[in-house]
Amino acid sequence: MKTRVGFGFDVHRLVEGRELWLGGIRIDHTMGLLGHSDADVLIHALCDALLGAANLRDIGYHFPDTAGEYAGIDSKILLRKTVELIQGKGYTLGNADITVCAERPKLNPHIPAMQQTLADCMGIDPDDISIKATTTERLGFTGREEGISAYAVVLLEKA
């Protein structure tokens, strides 16, 4: 069996007047993330990790923010398409480990729903997706609540 590891990172600015989508679920908050799509940093980092592990470039290559068809798109659609791309190369997800950095809102209560949503979207067991939330102790752009970032590591397997 061949295994490959991929790493993904994404960041989006927090702004007023947008919904906050993380891990495929809407979270009540006073601000949302700015982006061409729904700006779900968690899913975008996961997509980049999956694509990188399969040597399929990055999310911007496959789903450019200059393409009108992706304006406002639900990132779960991008994740499903990403899974199809890696499956097309014969890979399946072994596991994913994701960290989201945000001062607010508190994300821990939402993690089980995120895991289930992502698992349903990817056709895998929720136990194969680890999601952790942390702050930056009020340091940097995240600490000043200017944005949210996410990091993802995945293991792909090929029979």
Query: What residues are designated binding site?
Result: 10-12, 36-37, 44, 58-60, 134-137, 141, 144
CA torsion through residues 134, 94, 111, 39, sign: positive
> What length is written for the chain?
159
Distance, CA of 114 to CA of 129 (rounded, Å): 9
Residues comprising the binding site for a divalent metal cation? 10, 12, 44
